[in-house]
């Protein structure tokens, strides 16, 4: 016979919200640790809150690692991490600014329309060239 839960709906709701929040934080910490806990371009590691995941190819992206707070299994997160680099907020913004530049959009459109991925390693070269502040944190 199942025991009746004495908690109210609001108490159960608050407990579940808290449990999911803790799980998401734990998964994020594990993901950051798995990627080396520092920006892969400039080496920034002072504040983990300033570290973000950048998908190397939007074509291969199944889900955003921080998207809408969804909790995913570690196995799925690990698989998605293989498609990402860990960047500080500055490098991440600079990368997206370069991609959004007029010539960046043409390059991106051509790649997407061709259906061919960039050569292996090409994305990291492009990423490292896009960040102007990288030497200041090493």
The domain locations on the chain are: 9-137
Contact criterion met (CB below 8 Å) for 42 and 135: yes
Band the pLDDT of 98: cuts 50, 70, 90: confident
- Note the pLDDT of residue 90: 92
Question: What pTM did the predictor assign?
Answer: 0.65
Beta strands 84-88 and 51-55 are antiparallel
Flag the least confident range among 2-6, 72-76, 90-94, 132-136.
132-136
The residue with greater pLDDT, 111 or 14, is 14
What does the pLDDT read at residue 46? 94
- The band of 47, judged by pLDDT with boundaries at 50, 70 and 90, is very high
pLDDT of 108 > 60? The answer is no
> To the nearest whole percent, how much of the chain has pLDDT over 70?
62
């Amino acid at each position: 016979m199942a025991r009746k839960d004495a908690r109210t709906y609001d108490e159960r709701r608050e407990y579940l919200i808290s449990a999911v929040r803790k799980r998401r934080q734990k998964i994020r910490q594990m993901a950051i640790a798995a990627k080396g806990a520092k920006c892969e371009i400039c080496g920034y590691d002072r504040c983990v809150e300033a570290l973000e995941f950048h998908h190397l190819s939007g074509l291969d992206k199944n889900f955003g690692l921080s998207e809408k707070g969804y909790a995913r299994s570690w196995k799925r997160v690990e698989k998605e991490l293989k498609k990402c680099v860990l960047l500080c907020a500055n490098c991440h913004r600079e990368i997206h600014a370069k991609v959004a530049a007029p010539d960046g959009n043409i390059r991106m459109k051509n790649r997407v329309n061709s259906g061919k991925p960039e050569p292996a390693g090409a994305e990291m070269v492009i990423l490292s060239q896009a960040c102007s502040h990288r030497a200041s944190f090493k």
